[in-house]
Structure 1
């Protein structure tokens, strides 16, 4: 079996495409999936920094879609031949304020989806929406679930509200835009890239603000109910500045730094709500897939690479120029 691994002797930066990796077989309660496509996430770029040099090689990748080729004992709801997507969250079944102890994500510390096959618990294999190609289905797991929880579980978005998404362009942000519009919300986005702003408007964003603008002045005629933040230090105070009093800001990332300062007195007098969010539970994953089906949502695909070109895909992901998701085709 071929797989993209990080390990002690794997090559430059510890990453390489290796042949002759031993395939796993499903045990009780598990299924084996022949992957047709896998999705890239920024998480994949960070794993080498978290992987201890003394640890064994690990196959990277959290997202994927494919066909079930074997089922373990006791599996009675998934069958050989089923087309499935992988819920990358392991050990978080019911929705809860925080993930339970022992929660993990496919791709680290266990093996992930950048391989020809993968074995996962049967409950992590979910029927693929019929309107999605394998490449499209392969990218909705981690990013789609993160967006769904941020908007609906944590942010409690309702029809008719206005949501602001700073830093449009990444995979989660494009899902946020699609999900919010499908839910009947008004959506404002921002970016320093004119091409990304124009792309967001074509996808249905109601307004697109330039990063160099004064957001408070530009959005003074708006009543923004919810901000979904992932940029971090570079935009947090600016995002808070456009939020209406009593509004909510949900943070799921911090790409420009983890440390910020803000005015506590203004915050409590403004009656603001500040919430953190991450991925979600299996319960939320099923709701997200149902939402995708109900609204015939297709992910925004930036690029699809062949599996053999995975190093090029990683380079493209790391330069942050993409708009939407990047997928690997294994077909």
Structure 2
């Protein structure tokens, strides 16, 4: 089979022949129809991620057909259209991942290939209203945003939500999930174009985080927020606390703008704020996400689709953060 192989740091992915995976009992082989990029893939290509090994096949998101299974117990999956849950070996505690937790695409070879091996327990039927490309866009970012909003922030209908940096895959999913839950959603972005795109998805309003008075603009638009999703953090994170209503929940699953300076804890305890961290999600989170998506017939936002062989161009775009929604690879 062919796969995109990362052979060294800062090297382009090579589309080359590799050995087709062999299965153990409980495993399945999925013929990939489409895969999608995540920020994780970009960080790995430039050597800024823990536990990198070479050579490796990246890719956490994928959708395709089950071509083989490793045991008769899973034969009902054969020839089924599926998406893959990339959040593997979560562990016993629903509040945090265990020591054996892994994400598909490192250390286990991922979906940037003609075939991928996965435990059958992480297969799910492809939502029938989605194309292959839309289905492939869903798993990692959709799951991360779902857990941040519902499992961690305990999102309620009527909550006022702020999404900082809406153009990412997780940001667009957070907007779609929150709107489906009956919330009023506001956004920030570095470009007016992305803010307008977010409005078309249902955002009430948005401001540029490049503006010096972005906090004041949001306060004039919305007052304050009950739930804030911030995967940037950075030196201005303390300003986010000024946007939080008393009792607000602030959730982060990244720090793309760097670490935060010392926090004003008097403000945190007096407003009774919750600052919550999250990563990926459990099987229960994944199933609940699919239920929300299917119930509301939500369609993931795709910025652009590339042939698998053109993945290096997609990774360059990911590094520039110019996309709105997901970047997808088509086999």
Normalised TM-score (structure 1): 0.94
Distance 1:180 1:70, change over 3 A: same
1:19 Cα deviation from its structure 2 partner: 2.0
Aligned residue in 2 for 1:284: 285
1:260 Cα deviation from its structure 2 partner: 2.4
**Greater mean alpha carbon deviation, residues 17-26 or residues 138-147:** 17-26
Aligned residue in 2 for 1:174: 172
1:290-328 deviation per Cα after TM superposition (whole angstroms, max 9, x unaligned):
111111000111000011111111111111000000000
Distance 1:259 1:141, change over 3 A: same
Aligned residue in 2 for 1:59: 57
Instruction: Work out the number of aligned pairs and report it.
Output: 326
Q: Secondary structure at the match of 2:43?
A: helix
1:46 Cα deviation from its structure 2 partner: 1.5
Aligned residue in 2 for 1:258: 259
Q: Distance in 1 between the 2:62 and 2:162 partners?
A: 29
1:34-65 deviation per Cα after TM superposition (whole angstroms, max 9, x unaligned):
00000000100122414778x44111111100
Matched, 1:28 2:25: yes
Q: Secondary structure at the match of 2:71?
A: coil
Distance 1:83 1:94, change over 3 A: farther
CA contact (8 A) 2:232 2:256 kept: yes
CA RMSD of aligned residues (A): 1.7
Aligned residue in 2 for 1:293: 294
CA contact (8 A) 2:166 2:189 kept: yes
Q: Distance in 1 between the 2:235 and 2:309 partners?
A: 36
Which consecutive residues of structure 1, in runs of 5 or more, have no partner in the other structure? none
Aligned pairs (5 A) from 1:1-331: 1-8=1-8, 13-48=10-45, 49=47, 50=49, 55-76=53-74, 78-92=76-90, 96-211=94-209, 212=211, 213-220=213-220, 221-330=222-331
Q: Distance in 1 between the 2:7 and 2:294 partners?
A: 38
Distance 1:14 1:225, change over 3 A: same
Which consecutive residues of structure 2, in runs of 5 or more, have no partner in the other structure? none
**Greater mean alpha carbon deviation, residues 183-192 or residues 258-267:** 258-267
Q: Secondary structure at the match of 2:66?
A: strand
CA contact (8 A) 1:216 1:238 kept: no
Distance 1:281 1:24, change over 3 A: same
CA contact (8 A) 2:166 2:188 kept: yes
1:213-232 deviation per Cα after TM superposition (whole angstroms, max 9, x unaligned):
34235424534111011111
Distance 1:33 1:150, change over 3 A: same
Q: Distance in 1 between the 2:236 and 2:203 partners?
A: 19
Q: Secondary structure at the match of 1:228?
A: strand
Q: Secondary structure at the match of 1:298?
A: coil
The list of structure 1 runs, each at least 4 consecutive aligned residues, that deviate by more than 6 angstroms after superposition, is: none
Q: Distance in 1 between the 2:50 and 2:38 partners?
A: 17
**Greater mean alpha carbon deviation, residues 229-238 or residues 119-128:** 229-238
CA contact (8 A) 2:188 2:206 kept: yes
Q: Distance in 1 between the 2:263 and 2:24 partners?
A: 51
